[in-house]
Amino acid sequence: MLPTFMEFYSHQLVEGGNVSVSGENASKIDIRLVDREVIKKAVSEVLITLNQMFQSRFQKPIWSKIEVLNGSAFNGSSEFLFDPKVKTEFLIQNKPTFGDLDITVPGDLKQELGELLGDLEGKMITPKCKYIGSNKSAEDIGLGHQYNTIFQFSGLSEKAPKLNVQIDFEMTEYVDNEPSVFTKFAHSSHLDDLAASLKGFIHKFLVQSLAGASTKLSPADAVFLTDKSTAEKYKVSSAAGTEKGKSQFVFSVDKGMRQKMIPVMGKDGKQIEVDGKPAWKARPTGESEYQTKLEVIAQHMFGDNFDMADLPKLWSAVGLIELMKKYSSKTTIQGVFDELTDKMFGRGAQHINQTVEEDQKVKLPAWVAMVEAFPFINQDEAKAMFKKYYSEFEQRQSDMTTRKAAK
């Protein structure tokens, strides 16, 4: 039997902060132990100093608009900590701990930032902060989307005399010297979700699930051909999963929404039919164009009659559930639930935390919120997937630990 939503509502969520560098492990920032304004000032001084160092070395700053360090340059829940509009009392009640701080950096500065960070290892950045280093080796500088680093602060609080703060520098798109709207959307956390114990990744899972379920092509109404098929020479696909249908559109957190399935067109400019059904085939990822305008993404997910006055609701999981109530069919909602379940508990699902209890704390609120909002949802397959996932959890966790140790 599923637990009620309220049984999970009061849980405090545990963040990351799992980087280890030079024998130093990342600490969690607890604003009950270290005053919020103290940690904000200390981190801001480090970032401003780094900005100045970068300017001196490369004749350009990391952040041209230094005011973005008041919140908008940060991703996810890190923005709550630095945004002066978010009350400290609210954070103490709903999110007193932060495992890491995610800050955006213009993507074209990745190599130069890596060089600067490499030269600063083991050095004092401010009188109260020493840069320990990054979890990437010198050969890895410039690879990937972010640098996971540890900055060691001292003298901030008697209760936390030494604080190893994990700061993740995330390479993203900047427009007019600040993170683009899509960048903020794709890496956002929302206060409504925080109050409902729904983490930022749940919002992204819901967007991905909506993108897929709302544009699902049913095998009852469509025929799926192999990727190399043409109107003149084609073959019906027998790939696994075809019997469940294919999503016409998919959503990537890094790039946006793209059309995954395209109609197979004849020389007359019309879509061909096979066995009386429209024919579709997969579009190569490399040939895809990604849509990042939220207005267009919303229309793909909720239809052409989507009211743009509802666009702000797109930014939270709570809002997306409200939008589904207003615009989505029962079939689509069931599809969203099934895809969401697969992302959390399917074969490729990631462990968000190292224990079953903590993993459930961050995942189950989303599951329960959907069931409470839409009582008609069929949970039979989801329950079986849930049971299998947690029965294999410890073994999977052990395998992950072994693979990490082997690297």
Quickly count: other Cβ atoms within 10 Å of residue 362's Cβ. Answer: 21
pLDDT, residue 140, reads: 64
Phi, psi of 316, rounded to the nearest 5 degrees: -135, 155
Per-residue CA distances from 119 to 50, 109, 115, 127, 182 (Å): 12, 16, 6, 18, 32
What is the radius of gyration, based on Cα positions, of the chain?
Answer: 23
Residues 6+ apart with CB under 8 A from 255: 290, 292
C-alpha 109/C-alpha 2 separation (Å) is 47
C-alpha 297/C-alpha 99 separation (Å) is 31
Which of helix, strand or coil describes residue 51? helix
Cβ–Cβ under 8 Å, residues 103 and 168: yes
Quickly count: other Cβ atoms within 10 Å of residue 400's Cβ. Answer: 13
Q: Looking at domain 5-189, does it have CATH number 3.30.460? A: yes
pLDDT tens column, 131-161: 999 987 545 655 458 899 999 999 999 888 8
Q: What are the boundaries of each domain within the chain?
A: 5-189, 191-214+303-407, 215-291
pTM of the model: 0.85
For residue 7, give the amino acid letter.
E
> What is the mean pLDDT of each successive set of 10 residues along the chain, which is 407 residues long?
34 50 90 95 96 97 85 89 93 93 92 93 96 76 75 92 94 90 92 93 96 94 93 90 89 93 95 95 91 96 96 97 98 96 88 81 92 96 91 75 58
Which of helix, strand or coil describes residue 293? coil
